[in-house]
Amino acid sequence: MSASLNTATATAQDPACAEPLAVLGRDVTVPLVTGGEVTYAALDYAASAPALQRVWDDVAAYAPYYGSVHRGAGYLSQLSTDLFEQSRATVAEFLDCRPGDQVVFTRSTTDSLNLLAAVLPADCQVFVFETEHHASLLPWTNAQVSYLNAPRTPGEAVATLERALADRTASIEEGHGPALVCVTGASNVTGELWPVKELAAAAHAHGARIVLDAAQLAPHHPVSVRDLDVDWVAFSGHKLYAPFGSGVLAGRADWLQEAEPYLAGGGASRKVSRREDGGVDVEWHTTAARHEAGSPNVIGVYSIASACRALTEAGFDSLVAREQHLVAKVREGLAEVPAVRVLSLFGDDAPRVGVISFVVDGWNSSHFAAALSAEYGIGVRDGLFCAHPLVRTLLGSEPQAQGECGAPEAAPGERSLNAIRVSFGAGTPDEHVERFVRAVKELVADGAKWQYRTEEGRCVPTAPLRGCSAV
């Protein structure tokens, strides 16, 4: 997915004409330590997006008909099985899968990538940038892993991968094992889009395969397995407005069919028989069921399919345009505060989704995030975002004021390194990001109204500062 394509798509629509999609929780109010209540501004979409109202309604309509999936003779079981397999077809269409690709349902992106790691052929070498989320950085324990340094431009990312793959080709003997490249589509820290199509071309030119971590991309942009020419794609339902505990691994079937099942049990087995020596022989399925042992999460799977339909029907052109409108509001607002530094790998002009991380001079990020929540009713995230090497690279040796709250990741005596992340998407109204920008400006200019301290790893308000009181 090229940067130019995404920029053109994002600017071709009029965001003023688009309304946010209806999500659960949009009218929830939360108390403020300063008194009163306010509508909660959920700006932590990158961790878990709220459920689309459409998804919730679809699940509620199906729930009375819930039944066991596969093999059941009853009407509800037959209906649930049809729904489950139709959902598989819906996800394949949403991802523009190729003929022969398999869609395997998992628990999450993390589960999907661990599944792929479990089916890697022997002697597989994995190439992964240090900038990845831990879900795509850590699963490859049974393979030879080459960690690539953080690139500073999309072009440098492609060149870095090409050099690493060329070095592998030059140093190996005939009969070497296969190779796999793992790359994110959009960073969960900076929101920046990665040159996936170009990285896929580089991988294939050197005989390697590539898996796309689309956890942060799929909720914001169309993802075409066919156009990007990736071998697999993984994403989570809970980031795609379907928080019911399901994920997806979709792509080439051969490695999946040739490996032992990810989990051994009912559903994965096609035939089990006793041997004369007292053991058992097992014939495993060659379909996606091979890696879906146990009773499937039919509600989670159906919710993902519902979200795929809802986003497709809403139109990604208008969704992207509206999100870029919100990105511009946040970035322009933060640019007006000299104490704020936005984190970026590829620079200010890099195309990005609605994920922005930053630090504030004179503040520990945990303290700042706690004040946004307690005093303004705004939910953001602070920390290292399960991407520790990337955030540490972006922060470098830059010290953070300890303030009244430290980062929960900091060990006793360790210098605090953490950042603040604001993230949003299809259900975010303008008012939420406008309130966020105002709150940042007020906190930087006037400071927090309450005292805070760390309790059990969390920064919490404890008492009003002198001259301030709850109303």
Residues assigned a catalytic role:
386
| Alpha carbons 237 and 304: distance in angstroms, whole number | 6
Helices (H), 119-176: 134-137, 154-171
What does the DSSP 8-state code read for residue 13?
S
Burial of 58 (0-12, 13-18, 19+ CB in 10 A): buried
| Alpha carbons 162 and 151: distance in angstroms, whole number | 13
The 3-state DSSP class for residue 434 equals helix
Q: CB–CB of 44/428 below 8 Å? A: no
Burial of 471 (0-12, 13-18, 19+ CB in 10 A): exposed
Q: CB–CB of 459/370 below 8 Å? A: yes
User: What is the DSSP code string of 276-315?
Assistant: TTS-EEEEE-SSGGGG--SS--HHHHHHHHHHHHHHHHH-
List 30's β-bridge partners, or say none: 38
- CB neighbours of residue 455 within 10 Å: 10
Look up residue 328 and give its amino acid.
A
Helix (H) or strand (E) holding 199: helix 196-205
Q: CB–CB of 417/391 below 8 Å? A: yes
List Cα–Cα distances, 307 to 167, 292, 444, 466, in angstroms. Answer: 42, 21, 38, 48
Q: CB–CB of 449/375 below 8 Å? A: yes
| Alpha carbons 67 and 79: distance in angstroms, whole number | 8
Q: What is the 3-state secondary structure (H, E, C) of 252-277?
A: CCHHHHHCCCCCCCCCCEEEEEECCC
What is the Cα Rg of the chain in Å?
24
HSE on the CB side for 324, CA within 13 Å? 23
Retrieve residue 177's tokens.
Answer: 């094992």
Backbone angles phi, psi at 236, to 5 degrees: -115, 145
Helix-, strand-, coil-residue percentages of the chain, each rounded to 5: 40, 20, 40
Helices (H), 49-74: 53-62
| Alpha carbons 292 and 105: distance in angstroms, whole number | 7
